[in-house]
Amino acid sequence: MKIYGIDFTSAPSKKKGITSAECEFDKGLIRVNNIANWPNFELFERFLKEDGTWIAGIDFPFGQPRKLIKNLDWPQDWEKYVDLIDKKGKEWFENILTDYKKYRPYGDKEHLRFTDKKANSFSPMKLYRPPVGKMFFQGAPRILKCGASILPFLDRNNNKIIIEAYPNLVARTLIGRRGYKNDTLERRKNRENIFTKLITPENEIEYNYGFNINLSQIETEDLITELTADKIDAIFCAIQAAWAYTRKSENYGIPIDCDKLEGWIVDPHMLKN
């Protein structure tokens, strides 16, 4: 099975593009064959529209919080409110979030989806540090238009599946909550530790996700020296997508009763109490 892990950005460029890990998953082993850098949205869209059978885990919030949608009187349907935001445009979306937060009481300015609370991830309303709201704006309309099944929102009963990934959950499995991005000796050591644990037989990936990983086609030094750790994050997204594939008969690891207005981050740890 073809597996993709995609570390997304709201402003791709040659310096920092959208990073894609292309993998094959077979017989309990995920093999990372190639890591690509897409410096523009056109290449991302081209990938989404390619024919084939694959599952992709992409790192950006696919939905907005139910509380925000209700308060702004947006359509109570994922396809419809994503389409509305897309048609209104980037400036409108950012302005409406800024204005909304301006008059909210402290502690209630940026709402969390239920899945964000479970994953301890950022609010998809956040426009800065990190700009995950901007990532939602650039990503959600594009995946809506691509013809793939977007779970849990839209099952088109085809061979292309997209799930929401969050690489920090995989990182926590390997090194806890220690940071692994940016240029410090400690964080470089944490990246080295991640690589070592990924290639060690019977490691935490096998224990938590049920399969092992082969990185023989990937330059070790690239994973360790890249300060942004985008390649590592893309691999982590692929691990979550592969795990979702192993749970195909169980709704790809997504609870049946999850909020289909907000979405769900797919990872085995999200199913624990």
Task: Determine the 3-state secondary structure of 148 from DSSP.
Answer: coil
Amino acid at 227: L
Looking up residue 169, the CATH number of its domain turns out to be 3.30.420
68-to-79, 92, 234 alpha-carbon distances in Å: 16, 15, 29
- Bridging pattern class, strands 160-164 and 2-7: unpaired
88 domain residue, yes or no: no
84-to-58, 71, 160, 224 alpha-carbon distances in Å: 22, 15, 24, 41
171 domain residue, yes or no: yes
pLDDT value of position 142:
98
Could you list the pLDDT tens digit for every one of the 273 residues in the chain? 999 999 999 999 999 999 999 999 998 999 999 999 999 999 999 999 988 999 999 999 999 999 999 999 999 999 999 999 999 999 999 999 999 999 899 999 999 999 999 999 999 999 999 999 999 999 999 999 999 999 999 999 889 999 999 999 999 999 999 999 998 999 999 999 999 999 988 788 999 999 999 999 999 899 999 999 999 999 999 999 999 999 999 999 999 999 999 999 999 999 987
pLDDT value of position 224:
95
To the question of pTM greater than 0.85 for the whole model, the response is yes
Residue count (the chain): 273
273 domain residue, yes or no: no
Q: How far apart are CA 31 and CA 49, in angstroms?
A: 23
pLDDT value of position 262:
98
pLDDT value of position 203:
82
pLDDT value of position 271:
95
pLDDT value of position 32:
97
Q: How far apart are CA 59 and CA 233, in angstroms?
A: 8
Count CB-CB contacts under 10 A for residue 197: 14
118 domain residue, yes or no: no
Q: How far apart are CA 4 and CA 235, in angstroms?
A: 8
Question: How many domains does the structure of the chain reveal?
Answer: 1
Q: Can you give the residue range of the structural domain that contains 242? A: 2-61+158-248
69 domain residue, yes or no: no
- Bridging pattern class, strands 29-38 and 149-150: unpaired
